[in-house]
Structure 1
Amino acid sequence: FLPKEIIENTVKNGKQVLFLIPEKSQGNFWIRKIQQTTDNLKLKTNNICFFSTDLPFRKYIESFKKIRDGKSKITIGTRSALFAPFSNLGLILIVEPENKNYKSEMEPRYNAKNIGEKLAEILGINLILVSSLPSIENYVESDKVVAKREEEVQEIKKEIIDMKKGSKMLNKDIFYEWSSLSQPLFEEIKKNLLLKRKVILFINRRGEGLSVVCQDCGWIKKCKNCDAPLILYKKSDKNLSMVCYHCGSISLPPKQCEKCQSWKLVTLGSGIEKIERELKEKFKNSKILRLDSKVAARSTTQKMVLKSFFEKNGDILLTTSILFRYLPILVGKKVPLVGIISIDSLLSLPDFRAEEEGVKIVHNLLSFTLDKFIFQTFWPNSQVANFIKNGYNSFLKELLKERERFFYPPFSKIIKLTFSHKDSQKAENESLNLKKKLEGEVKNKSLQIQILGPSPSFIQKIRGKYIWTTVIKLKKLKANEKKQILSIVPSYWKVDVDPLTII
């Protein structure tokens, strides 16, 4: 859905249009889409350009000059296009503004949506957010919400599988493993393959499993540098390794518990390698394609995998969230069966946005579903399950109640303060001292602010440094009041306003 009339009127009035997209890989698709949408304008090829700071230098300069000289009537680009030298900007559109790629993780850690709002305010122009499922904050804070109703489609059958009842333990030579597939999902896959029908299976984790755990004492194998659970990888039956995502260290898996010396070690969680192996064992005659950053790191390879699945002879697509990068390109592509093997590792995170992110995953996967959708989970009463059973309005109502009760966005703004040091005591003391100073400032100003922490970060140690986090929740303050609060924070602290996560 694109506001064709608004775009055309902006260009006819001699103004420029900025069209932000979350992924560079979508650039060519959106250029073609805009050309089709604005065919009445009869724009020339050089009137539409793509802009991003990671373009080849010559192409970057060429696009820069077109925008500066007003020759580019419509500019499509990633978040950096907000800083292009527009001569007469008249409209800003942001596609999927809740996408994480709009948030810069480098200083000054800006969010493209917030910059777009400020730019539109300064120039007195419209900002339009285009989303298949807006974030809670965007939905509540927008001045106007225009819903485009999709064409009526055949009702999708949805089934929620409680994995506390539907999972099995498999006795392997090295570890005891949970079976990734419940019996109902296994039977549905088998039935669809017999009918030569395609299947999409989703998992939001790489690796063999979440971690290696001792079933007797609860010991977990962790990285010595980072204090984070190591992920088990299996290259072959005899080639196992454990990898840390944070520092990249690699070690051999334990033969027994390093705490109680028990031999009863299990893998918890379901990584994509483990599921791929299980699928190949159970469906030997089927062509199973895998889409994740390990086997398809480049966008060209990812597109080849998708083309092979949708247009050729792929039977099962086992995918991570990389699939969602190509949502606009794959509009209309549907398969009879879509199953979520697990997103419980996401839902178990102590972060207020976890459930909302889970709902976004489900929503995106439903767009690929023709007949049946299966959701496997250990938490059948979660907000994600509520969304599947009762729809978006019910989910929104419950989540807003929860957000208001605990003073989370959109009822507050969040600032995340992070300090790290090789000395754990130094990290703790520094964080406690800052909290005292912040509390003094808040008391003097009589501001409505909550300070959470300080506390050790979710991953307490990364690359040999201990991490402590303080979270500030505050009502919308004037710029000078926020500046006064942040002026207390030393320059060597990491400051993140509107962070993607608080853990």
Structure 2
Amino acid sequence: MTGSPSESKKGRVKARAVADVLDRPFEASSTNGAGKATRLSASTIKTGEANGWLSRSQAEVYRDPFQSAVTTTKALQLNPDQQTAVDAINQATDDQQSTPFLLQGVTGSGKTEVYLQTIANTLAQGKQALMLVPEISLTPQIVGRVRGRFGRQVAVLHSGLSAGERFDEWRRISRGEARVVVGARSAVFAPIKNLGVIIVDEEHEASYKQEDNPRYHARDVALWRGRYHHCPVVLGSATPSLESRARAQKQRYQRLLLPTRANQQALPEVSVVDMTEELKHHKESNFSTALMTALKDRLERGEQSLLMLNRRGFSSFVMCRDCGFVLTCPNCDISLTLHMDTKTMKCHYCGHEEPIPHRCPNCKSRHIRYYGTGTQKVEAELHELLPEARVIRMDVDTTRRKGAHERLLKQFGAHQADILLGTQMIAKGLDFPDVTLVGVLNADTALGLPDFRASERTFQLLTQVSGRAGRAKKAGEVVIQTYNPDHYAIQLAKRQDYEQFFVREMHLRHRGNYPPYYFAVKLTVSDETESVAATAIHQIVQQLQTTLSPNAIMLGPTPGAIARINKRYYYQLVIKYKQEPQLQTALFKLLSQAQRKSRSGLQIAIDNNPMSFM
């Protein structure tokens, strides 16, 4: 029995439609995908398959996490210091020695080229390489340079990938198809079976430390993997952590120096502006006269500027001028931050969000004022003072979407903006030849924190961000605005004198019994009921006192720096020690007890060698 004329006509139409696309090959992961690729309906595809006109087969296709193509590059001519460093690292790779190297080079000294040439040697040996960078914001530029040298052999791992992209990259690495892995902190666990070299760029960065479970420092894991795989580990930085520099001093690490910029260009000229003096002569502003003059000069010359601020949002907090009420988070002991883009008040700890108040919730006054400075507020002031300037703002709020880091940096690199305004994420690793001015709007932010690393972090940040200026042929200038112009961290950062800073800071650490002279461990107890947390931490103190020697130093117990976060109360205890053979056993016992108590809501966290005691 034959079909009706209408059915026969439909069949001919479908056959002709299939025939029209047979000369055009396509790939698809589903029938819907095939329909989009060929403009055929699902029923036509099924009819073609049933009649033998089309066949369906499966093929694995990796998702591509890279946002754009790159230009192929070749190895550069090394200067003598770079060549010495490359030779030393390559020798360790060839001999399968797990030597830790501290590559200490001023900003712009060509550390990245040293990395690339040691990776090339590793690949020539038939081995794989791992390169860690501290933040996702650095990944696009670094990955671009590594891909430019090694092409499709490069895999990338960071939190900005989708789950599918991360899965595909993980498989490429595990199968040995990707021979170079570049990624942020968690990439240190990449399934590389034949490691020949591990590189930790900007090794001093605190972002290498995982602050919640599992608490680890990527640098420590990298050193362990170096020993396990019998390969060298290169720790690179212009401002090494005091721990790494001290280990190099004791010759536990082999120190390699790059004392000059690779292009022989001078380091930028740095000036420090005392903002207390500025306020005496001008109205309150985020910009000193010197910085505003320098910005106008760059605009006239068609050059670019970086402006760094250590905050995001519009203002730090909202306060009533009549009764002094500050709007705080209902879940945390912290003030809410104003965000003008969403017209909301946000908590940066638990994520609580509420509308901006127009009346004081306490006294109903309308005298609500916004205090402090954020990137949004600085951007608004920039548009007012320099209306002709094109500004790109780069902070957590503008980089939430996937690929946002790379998109913004690409726009800036293509001269679609005159000023890049951002938080700490713009301070490291960026390399733009037309950036001749760097402005630091508030150098004092970290100095005011009750943290033994406050001076170290300030010095590192100022030195790193200063290094973004004048990296090509044009001379660079840096303007640092501060209310503490005589502080040694700021003065030594102005001179980029790391060695003098190391000597002075180590002296202070020795007097205060702080790392690297002492090891440290921080215990944190939290519960929804404050009395439960307080009782638990005091019980832990009594338990540990029977284990610790008289030489151990115990700080606390005290409430956490922010006593309540997300409706939980926090208490902490810090132990500083040099040799405590029984301590790790006692801590392991505490963790075992904590697992049983966690069912009732009590949580105990142990952080070995914390980055901060806060």
Q: TM-score range by the shorter chain?
A: 0.7 to 0.9
Q: Is the 8 A contact 2:344 2:353 kept in 1?
A: no
Paired with 1:111 and 1:462, the residues of 2 have a C-alpha distance of 24
1:496 and 2:607 matched:
yes
Q: Structure 2 vs 1, CA of residues 437 and 307 (structure 1 numbering), >3 Å: closer, same or farther?
A: same
Shift of 1:449: 1.8
Q: Structure 2 vs 1, CA of residues 268 and 449 (structure 1 numbering), >3 Å: closer, same or farther?
A: farther
Q: Is the 8 A contact 2:239 2:498 kept in 1?
A: no
Q: What secondary structure, in the 3-state scheme, does the structure 1 residue paired with 2:449 have?
A: coil
* Partner in structure 2 of residue 362 of structure 1: 462
Paired with 1:295 and 1:47, the residues of 2 have a C-alpha distance of 31
1:134 and 2:240 matched:
yes
* Partner in structure 2 of residue 20 of structure 1: 132
Shift of 1:378: 1.6
Give the letter aligned to residue 201 of structure 2.
Answer: V
Q: What secondary structure, in the 3-state scheme, does the structure 1 residue paired with 2:526 have?
A: strand
Shift of 1:163: 1.8
Paired with 1:59 and 1:199, the residues of 2 have a C-alpha distance of 34
* Partner in structure 2 of residue 144 of structure 1: 254
* Partner in structure 1 of residue 23 of structure 2: none
Give the letter aligned to residue 484 of structure 1.
Answer: A
Give the letter aligned to residue 461 of structure 1.
Answer: R
* Partner in structure 1 of residue 500 of structure 2: 394
- How many residue pairs align between the two structures? 480
Paired with 2:536 and 2:480, the residues of 1 have a C-alpha distance of 44
Q: Structure 2 vs 1, CA of residues 53 and 226 (structure 1 numbering), >3 Å: closer, same or farther?
A: closer
Q: Which entry has the higher C-alpha Rg, 1 or 2?
A: 2
Paired with 1:476 and 1:359, the residues of 2 have a C-alpha distance of 30
Paired with 1:206 and 1:72, the residues of 2 have a C-alpha distance of 37
* One of 586, 596, 611 as aligned partner of 1:484: 586
1:297 and 2:400 matched:
yes
Larger CA deviation: 117-126 vs 346-355: 117-126
Identity value in percent: 27
Q: Structure 2 vs 1, CA of residues 77 and 398 (structure 1 numbering), >3 Å: closer, same or farther?
A: same
Paired with 1:241 and 1:66, the residues of 2 have a C-alpha distance of 43
Q: What secondary structure, in the 3-state scheme, does the structure 2 residue paired with 1:375 have?
A: strand
Give the letter aligned to residue 144 of structure 1.
Answer: Q
* Partner in structure 2 of residue 468 of structure 1: 571
Q: Structure 2 vs 1, CA of residues 165 and 129 (structure 1 numbering), >3 Å: closer, same or farther?
A: same
Paired with 2:266 and 2:224, the residues of 1 have a C-alpha distance of 42
What is the RMSD computed on CA atoms of the aligned residues?
A: 3.4
Paired with 1:77 and 1:155, the residues of 2 have a C-alpha distance of 29
* Partner in structure 1 of residue 450 of structure 2: 350
Paired with 1:47 and 1:195, the residues of 2 have a C-alpha distance of 41
Paired with 1:301 and 1:17, the residues of 2 have a C-alpha distance of 27
Q: What secondary structure, in the 3-state scheme, does the structure 1 residue paired with 2:400 have?
A: coil
Q: Structure 2 vs 1, CA of residues 448 and 24 (structure 1 numbering), >3 Å: closer, same or farther?
A: same
* Partner in structure 2 of residue 161 of structure 1: 273
Paired with 1:466 and 1:273, the residues of 2 have a C-alpha distance of 32
Q: Is the 8 A contact 1:333 1:368 kept in 2?
A: no
1:224 and 2:324 matched:
no
Q: Note the 1:216-365 alignment, pairs <5 A.
A: 220-235=326-341, 241-247=344-350, 248-253=352-357, 255=359, 258=362, 267-298=370-401, 300-324=403-427, 327-328=428-429, 330-365=430-465
- Kindly provide the CA deviation profile for residues 54-113 of structure 1, in whole angstroms up to 9, marking residues without a partner as x: 866776666556555555544434444443444333332222223344323342211111
TM-score, L = length of structure 1: 0.83
Paired with 2:139 and 2:361, the residues of 1 have a C-alpha distance of 50
Give the letter aligned to residue 496 of structure 1.
Answer: D
More strand by share: 1
Runs (5+) with no aligned partner, structure 2: 1-110, 471-475, 595-602
Q: Structure 2 vs 1, CA of residues 28 and 440 (structure 1 numbering), >3 Å: closer, same or farther?
A: same
TM-score, L = length of structure 2: 0.69
Q: Structure 2 vs 1, CA of residues 193 and 458 (structure 1 numbering), >3 Å: closer, same or farther?
A: same
Give the letter aligned to residue 406 of structure 2.
Answer: K
Q: Is the 8 A contact 1:286 1:315 kept in 2?
A: yes
Give the letter aligned to residue 466 of structure 2.
Answer: L
Paired with 1:216 and 1:20, the residues of 2 have a C-alpha distance of 51
Give the letter aligned to residue 569 of structure 2.
Answer: Y
Q: What secondary structure, in the 3-state scheme, does the structure 2 residue paired with 1:229 have?
A: coil
Give the letter aligned to residue 388 of structure 1.
Answer: A
Runs (5+) with no aligned partner, structure 1: 39-44, 172-177
Give the letter aligned to residue 558 of structure 2.
Answer: S
Q: Structure 2 vs 1, CA of residues 240 and 25 (structure 1 numbering), >3 Å: closer, same or farther?
A: closer
* Partner in structure 2 of residue 372 of structure 1: 477
Give the letter aligned to residue 322 of structure 1.
Answer: M
* One of 208, 216, 231 as aligned partner of 1:102: 208
Q: What secondary structure, in the 3-state scheme, does the structure 1 residue paired with 2:522 have?
A: strand
